[in-house]
Every structure is written in structure tokens, then in C-alpha cells.
Structure 1
């Protein structure tokens, strides 16, 4: 299955015969799907399928709802009024509740997984240089782009490697709302 963009922001399917004339944009245009040990198809890439500078424009997007923010704040025991109290938040510089930043971060990683690490990750080793340059509010639609920043073979695990991914999240106004550099321990293609 291949995709190309039209004038609309949503991707549309194109035939494989036209795929060679279309610049690679989505994961399915670049590499075959990975397979697990049983031969089942997985969406993620193995360590040796990544290249430094490789970019992903993730197709999945998500609109954050007020109920998402309330549920996440309650589940994580975060009673901060800036997230859950409309009256309090109306008197802040933002004028309304902010989406919990850890919900935003989790969504950023989650939106990137299917194209990059789904089924092929051993562990997320480190999240660093995380920033939230603009606030996120209920009703914002988040999309994510990812770039492979570095690759390194694991010194202690010969069948695995470390991939450094830079995730950048945008709202519906194309404002950057989150950036995060993630170090993931990945499986290599099985021998």
C-alpha cells in the first residue's frame, strides 16, 4: 500500500505503478515490513533498516480531548489546577486548562511507534532534550515527524543496536508543541 499527498492534508492511495515517481513519504514506500520470529508482519523497523538522516512524516494524527487530559491527570495523580480546573485556568495567562505535558509527550512517542519501532523495540533507554515550546489545549490535533539522528551497535548485545530518534510534534497550526530525543534499543534483523 502506497500513499501520496493531494492538495488536502490527508494522504490518498496511489497505485504501485506510480509509486516509483513519488518521493518516499510514508514507511510503506521505503522498506518491506519487518517480520517477527514466527514470520508475522510487524510495522516497525529493525536496527539495520534505519539510516542516519532518515525522516518519517507519520500518517497518524490525534486530536486531544478534554476527557483525555482529565483521565490522564487523574490516572497519574496530578491534581494541578492548571490541568483540571477551568475556573482557575481561566485566570492564568493561558485562559483555559493546559494539557498535561506528559500526556503530550506520551502521544508524541505513540504517534511515531507504528512507522519506526512497533514490535522491534527492546526498550526505550533514554528520553532527553524534551521541550514544550507552545502549550497544548483540548481540541488541538497533534502530528509528529521523526528523524534518525544516530545509530550505534550495542557493545554488550550483538543482536541489538541503539537508535537515536528526534521527534517533533506540531499542532493544527503547524506550531511546534513538543520536541524529544529518544534513545531506543532495537532488534537487528534476525539471522
Structure 2
């Protein structure tokens, strides 16, 4: 869906939650191939059995990519992703875990470079099926204003 939401339209506290997505072994293998990260924590089931987690874990970057992808259901023609801050891998994600993403508008502020735009900060929390946080970050959007700031 395409929307036109200006900076002024965003409300701090507004929250949305995605549907779930189960992480599969195929996801992990494909991500390893795409990134070149064949670290044994992700790829070697026998070695992982000797480690504290006892099983393979998904790449943090895979969890991030899938979790953020889950939020991409609406395109705002007045905004563009400006990047991510404070990214943390809080808990491991295992094969067959199902993740969901909650995005909450945490802050709005002026853009120091452009009076015609503002920055909207979305607090992202990705959780597993037990509702335990597995990843947290801030997604920054550069959003057009209806009227330039003074």
C-alpha cells in the first residue's frame, strides 16, 4: 500500500506489530552464502552441540533483515529510510523460532540540514514466539514536512 504521510502526521507512541515469520535452516544457509559468513555457530550442528546454546543460531544480520522486512508493508512516498542506530542482538534465534516485529514511533525531531524535512525515530523490537526480545534498534526516517520549519 502507498500512503502520503508527512512529518506532522506521525504521532509519538503509535505502534504496529507484524505477522510472524519462522526462521528455517534454508534461511540460514542462504544467508551464509550471500554474506560469506560460514561461522560454525551458524553452520556446524555437531560443533554447536558442544557449545552453551547446544544448537545452530541464526545470523544476527539475518534476524535483522527478516525482522525489518516484515515491517515493509506500506510505502510512504513522503519518507525514506535514513538508517539504523543502536542495533543490538539481545538473544539468539534458533531454527524454527518464529519472529515478529513491533515498531513504535519513539521520537520526532528537526533535521539539522533541511528545514523541509524532519527525522522520525521508530523503536524496533523483534521478538521470538515466547515474546522474548531478540533484537532491538532504532529506525530513522527522513520525512518531508507540509511546511518548512522556521
Q: Does 1:123 align with 2:118?
A: no
Q: Does 1:169 align with 2:126?
A: yes
Within 5 A, what are the aligned runs for 1:32-111? 42=2, 45-58=5-18, 60-111=19-70
TM-score normalized with structure 1 length: 0.68
Determine if contact 2:122/2:139 at 8 Å carries over to the other structure: yes
Structure 2: which 5+ runs fail to align?
none
The count of aligned residue pairs is: 147
Local SS of the residue matching 1:98: coil
Distance 1:84 1:118 in 2: 38
Structure 1: which 5+ runs fail to align?
1-40
Deviations 1:72-129, CA, capped at 9 Å, x for gaps: 11110112011111111111111111000011111222222325x555432333x222
Distance 2:110 2:10 in 1: 12
Deviations 1:107-156, CA, capped at 9 Å, x for gaps: 222222325x555432333x222222221011111011111111123243
Distance 1:65 1:49 in 2: 38
Distance 2:53 2:69 in 1: 26
Relative contact order higher in (CA < 8 Å, ≥ 6 apart): 2
Distance 2:55 2:62 in 1: 17
Q: Does 1:138 align with 2:61?
A: no
TM-score normalized with structure 2 length: 0.85
Structure 2 residue aligned with 1:33:
none
Distance 2:131 2:143 in 1: 30
1:149 to 100, 106, 123: 106
Local SS of the residue matching 2:99: strand
Determine if contact 2:81/2:139 at 8 Å carries over to the other structure: no
Greater CA drift, 147-156 or 64-73: 147-156
